[in-house]
Structures are given as C-alpha cells and as structure tokens.
Amino acid sequence: MFRRAWSASDASVIAATTVVCGCGGGDAVRATLPKLLSVAVRLVLDADALNAIGADPSLLALAAARERRGHATIMTPHPLEAARLLGATAASVQADRLGAAHALAARLRSVIVLKGSGTVVCAPDGTTRVNATGNASLASAGTGDVLAGWIGGHWASLGTSAFDIATRAVIEHGAAADPERPGALRAGDLVERLHRRERGD
C-alpha cells in the first residue's frame, strides 16, 4: 500500500511474496496486473483487480493460465464482481451461488471466495465449502478488504493450500463478526476482533 513502486520490483522479489491486489487503487491497478498475473506465485485478487480482469480479455486469459505455470490464485468477488467475470448479472449469480462459484473456479482455474450470506469457497477441481459464520454486519464498506488481507497474511505465514487457507480465513472472518450487533461493523473494528481472536483473548 505504501510502496507504490513495489510492483516494478524484480520478478524474483514478486515471486517470493504473497501478493494481495485490488483493495483500492481503482483503475490504476490495471497497469500492474500483467506482471503480477505472470510472476506472482501466490496471488489474492479482490475488488478493483477483479473488475479490471473482467473488463479485459487479455487479463482474463493471463489469470486463467496461472495454474498451468504452477501459480496459485485466490479471488474474492462479491456477487456483482462475480457477474462481471462471468458476463452475467448479479441476480443470476445470487440465484445459483454454488453454480456461479463452480463456473468461475473452472474458468479461471482459481480458488473462488464468493462473498455473501453463506460465503462459497470453491476450488478449481469443484471441491466446495459453504461458510456458516458471519452475519449481515459484514456488508459494510472495507470488510471485504479485511478478508483479502487476512487470506494473504495466513497464506504468507502458513503456506498451506490455497483452498484450505481461503476456507480458514473465511471462517475466522465471519466468526469475528459474531454475534451480530446493531449497526454496521467498521472494518477497523473487525481487524481488532480478528487480532483478539488470533491471540485467544
């Protein structure tokens, strides 16, 4: 976030790093995506990155080719972002959330975290888990960015499979919002709750 020239680093630096891309930056993120999609071995894509990929067939092709190079990808779309990637509507994604997650995972050869009530985690081979933690307070701004960062942090420190990392992070992210309280949950408060749970407080 604070080292804006980092994406221009040598390919070996990027390949050795767990990268989270798309949590802010708007359309400017588009310029960094070809290199990240080509080089990063562990890549979490959210929000602005997903919108850029959905609007650019060349980026979509780069994303889908990552698995063949031994690179792992976790994508964290909400229903509208998933719809853009599928060339569909948010209503059709919501009408068949499992089907949409399966279609995205198969098309993009990525672990898909389709956010929403009963977040769906789907691997490229079709293995699927549906999360039971969390509540409507996670619909507030910034909580999806927290999830992407939490996934990236776990992936960097634990190094297990993308599917298992995504599942664990989704469960913990939702559990940190339980039980539901009145009003929206601030992203900063969610981070503090996750930190306290991680420490066992």
Q: What pLDDT was estimated at residue 5?
A: 75
Q: Is residue 2 part of a domain?
A: no
Residue 150 domain-assigned (yes or no): yes
User: What are the residue ranges in the chain where pLDDT is below 70?
Assistant: 1-4, 25
Is 161 part of a structural domain of the chain?
yes
Does some domain include residue 1?
no
Residue 4 covered by a domain:
no
Residue 180 falls within a domain, yes or no?
yes
User: Is 61 a domain residue?
Assistant: yes
What pLDDT score was predicted for residue 2?
58
DSSP-derived secondary structure letter, 27: G
pLDDT of 9-29, one tens digit each? 899 999 999 999 987 767 788
Structural domains counted in the chain: 1
Q: Could you tell me if residue 3 is inside a domain?
A: no
Q: Which domain holds residue 147?
A: 9-199
The end-to-end CA distance of the chain, in Å, is 29
**What's 193's domain CATH number?**
3.40.1190.20
Alpha-carbon distances, residue 5 vs 2, 8, 42, 86 (angstroms):
9, 6, 19, 31
Q: Is the peptide bond before 124 cis (omega within 30 degrees of 0)?
A: no
pLDDT of residue 3: 65
